[in-house]
């Protein structure tokens, strides 16, 4: 699914990631941890093709990203669902329209997907908030909306950047449960968090691994959960 070989990334003279070697297999569940500023978001951005490594190699879906055309990058982004901590919605669109947005930009007929959209709204328990605008939502609702939007295109991988950072424990668990469900459906999950309790709470639900990012280096932390 994702294969990094001596991959690195720098912001000017400051190296964020150095010689990262890691493989994320299809259908796996990985947590990504590390202190603030360690480069978690940079690593995730490379995984959803918002940044390109400036050294080494990164393969996503068995394709070397440095060799991709703009069109191929666009197509590949549609195979990766992204959930941000700050969600990044279009605030002038309703919840339902935001969920439909990936379909819209892909040129798909929204009418044909209405049933799917309603199912997703029910899945994230937001059926009664479909016509609300993002700014009217609570933190937990926003994260569930972001997750619904991330999966509408039936992506092969979900990348989530601190999705539980702004919600309480109960809501964090609800989100984790949704991600576990997706993983059981065969989706590859990469979830960045610094919440160790959240990581521990997955034990026994799905086999998950923890990646630790520190000092620009990525390593597998401890045994499989």
Partner 1 sequence: MSENPLAFMMGGSPSDQIVPPKGNATWLTGTASGAMAFIAVFALTLSLALGHLADYWSLDLAQSATVQIVAEGEALDLQTEAALQVLRTTPGVASAEIISDASQIELLTPWLGEGISTDTLPLPRLINVQIADTGLDGESLLLRLKAEAPDASYNDHSFWRAPILEASNRLRLMVAVSLGLTALITVIIVVLSANTALASNQGIIRTLRLLGARDSYIAQAFVRRITLRATFGAGVGMILALIAVLFFPSQPQTSGLLSGLELRGLDWVYPLVVPVLVGISAFVASRMAAHYHLRREI
Give contact residues for partner 1 (rule: CB under 8 A): 48-52, 70-71, 73-75, 77-78, 82, 88-93, 97, 101-102, 104-107, 149, 153
Rg (CA), the chain: 17
Q: How far is the CB of 16 from partner 1 (least distance, A)?
A: 17
Of residues 101 and 225, the one with the C-beta less far from partner 1 = 101
Of residues 120 and 206, the one with the C-beta less far from partner 1 = 120
User: What's the chain's length in residues?
Assistant: 225
Q: Which residues pair with 24 in a beta bridge?
A: 2
Of residues 157 and 198, the one with the C-beta less far from partner 1 = 157
Q: How far is the CB of 78 from partner 1 (least distance, A)?
A: 4
Q: How far is the CB of 67 from partner 1 (least distance, A)?
A: 13
Q: How far is the CB of 61 from partner 1 (least distance, A)?
A: 14
Distance CA 181, CA 176 (A): 9
E strand or H helix at 150, and its extent? helix 139-151
CB atoms within 10 A of CB 200: 10
Token pair listed for 132? 């609300």
User: Is 41 in contact with 117 (CB distance < 8 Å)?
Assistant: no
Q: Which residues pair with 17 in a beta bridge?
A: 9
């Amino acid at each position: 699914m994702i294969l990094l070989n001596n991959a690195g990334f720098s912001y000017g003279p400051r190296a964020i990631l150095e010689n990262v070697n890691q493989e994320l297999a299809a259908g796996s569940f990985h947590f990504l941890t590390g202190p603030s500023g360690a480069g978690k978001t940079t690593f995730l951005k490379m995984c959803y093709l918002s940044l390109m490594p400036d050294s080494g190699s990164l393969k996503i879906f068995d394709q070397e990203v440095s060799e991709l055309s703009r069109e191929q990058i666009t197509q590949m982004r549609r195979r990766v669902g992204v959930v941000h901590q700050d969600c990044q919605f279009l605030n002038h669109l309703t919840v339902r329209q935001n969920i439909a947005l990936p379909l819209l930009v892909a040129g798909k007929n929204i009418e044909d997907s209405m049933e799917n959209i309603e199912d997703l709204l029910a899945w994230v328990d937001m059926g009664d908030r479909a016509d609300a605008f993002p700014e009217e939502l609570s933190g937990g609702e926003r994260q569930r909306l972001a997750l619904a939007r991330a999966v509408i295109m039936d992506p092969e991988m979900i990348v989530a950047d601190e999705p539980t950072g702004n919600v309480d424990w109960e809501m964090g668990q609800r989100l984790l449960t949704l991600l576990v469900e997706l993983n059981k459906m065969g989706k590859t999950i990469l979830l960045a968090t610094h919440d160790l309790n959240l990581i521990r709470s997955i034990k026994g639900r799905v086999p998950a691994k923890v990646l630790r990012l520190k000092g620009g280096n990525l390593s597998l932390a401890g045994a499989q959960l």
